[in-house]
A and B are shown apart, each in its own frame.
Chain A
Amino acid sequence: MADLSIDFAGIKSPNPFWLASAPPTNTGDQVMRAFDAGWGGAVWKTLGNPIVNVSSRFGGIDYGNTRMMGLNNIELITDRPLEVNLREIREVKRRYPNHAVITSLMVETKEEWKEIIQRAEEAGSDGHELNFGCPHGMCERGMGSAVSSEPKVLREIARWAVEFATKPVIVKLSPNVTDIVEPGEAVLESGAHGISLINTIKSIMAIDLDRMVPLPRVGNASTNGGYCGPAVKPVALHMVGELTRHPYVAKLPISGIGGISNWRDAAEFIALGCTSVQVCTAVMHYGYRIVEDMIEGLNDFLDSKGMKSILDLRGRAAPQYKNWGELDLGYRVVADISTDKCIGCQLCYVACMDGAHQCIHLPGRTEEQARKAGHTHIPKLIPDRAVTARGGAPGARVPFVDDDECIGCNLCQLVCPVSGCITMKEVPSGKPNESWNDRVQRGADFVPGGLHVTEVERAKR
């Protein structure tokens, strides 16, 4: 059994799984039920001057058979009196002293920040998460993502918080910025103790085409909301990656948020450098119970890799996140279609024909037929193969790859519905191990026939 406990800027937690500040952390009863289910920590639904929320306030996006692959909301911070929230926080900490309870905060003036931080600490909060991320409603009032997108403002408010707080301060960032590094550096400069990201992405979920109103609909109108759920995970991973490879910002502990639904997602965020992960949409979909699989799955994963603790996993993938110019131009893969597994759907064929490089062929065609179908390059040998997989219809054709033409783009593997049927095999490219940056340095950063030529090339002419 691996050690799942973490220390996040001094905030201790029995495991890295925290509930993100959102409806699942709205009340003390909820948080205590979550801790009973196994969650290691909870970031309390944002405290501030209570607001009035609208109805409805959530919109979902489905894809195929998957419900709620994305969710958005136009809910604001807590609509419950501060006194009630603080009383419940005190009660939760009294009953669960070893779990992490972090208060998410959002107020306007310096005096308000001072007051709310002190009152949260008196209630027993283990740390504060400054909500500089909400992209709807509160930003119109100069809070939420309005702060995240102004590094100077962010730095100043975070400095107030650090000054007033005796507990660690975490700054939660909005993804609604051009470059996440700027607010990241501002957090570092503020002296805050940690970063969490991402908050939700500005979005309009859908349009009700009968009423001609965007969703979620409030009466006869709507507004842009914050997008979250499994669909935003790649955006979140990228932004986390930008900060975890920053030479200085990376020294701060990072709490990863964004589409984390299971142990594998969590492991990925931790491998990229996160210390804790925060979950919301998956809990809103399936309830607190999902944490059992997250704990068990992460534990078994660490065991299977011979890792003893979260620290062994943390940041293992970060050094491999590089700029494009550092990638090896000499590396080459080509697609390989398994005749045993192919079911003969030929989705790879059409994807390659119309969406890629026309290097997947159907067997049994004459050269003329192949040219008529759109192939400009005809392989020397066109085999005549039938499907042998147990799922394939008798006699169905297994497409084959023209190895010489395949550029190794991956598209066929991505569209193939049968897992493990198309693999990308490494082949020698005959080219040296060299990156674009190497070529720039060597003065060979041009492609013959291109628009621009280098100084070296120009000199030759």
Chain B
Amino acid sequence: MNSHEISLTVNGKTRRSEVEPRVLLVHHLRDGLGVTSPHVGCDTGQCGACTVLIDGRAVKSCTVFAVQADGSEIVTVDGLTGENGGLHPLQKSFKEKHGLQCGYCTPGMILSAHDLLEKTPDPSEEEIRSHLKGNFCRCTGYQNIVEAVRHAAEELSERDAAMEVAR
């Protein structure tokens, strides 16, 4: 099968590779580039474990061919950072609120929540639950995930307010 050369910027590093046109982005990230944090939980685009940020938007990387992502900027959970290069408030909140158990859905869940907080900085519980409908978790019953997202939203808004004052 014909291969195509593509270029992806993954967590700030530009990587060139040859891929078959049928290879899914998630498989290319995992098997081709060795970035294994996007997980595969289904084969129908339902579970959200493979969610990554493509040019800032949360996308299920099993619904995109690697060649379609050519030239784009991809952020996985490995690439998230908070202030001074520490943990992102979402990463901190998930630990604080026990928002993960087996950890399999966690990278996708965090990036999906990231997407929500970009668009809706102060979401209600209902908005969070509604937004996370594309991501399955079989361990936590979602309650602590919802709490973690709420908590992160508060942290982020406090941070923004502090930055506002500093300006």
**Do A and B associate with each other?**
no
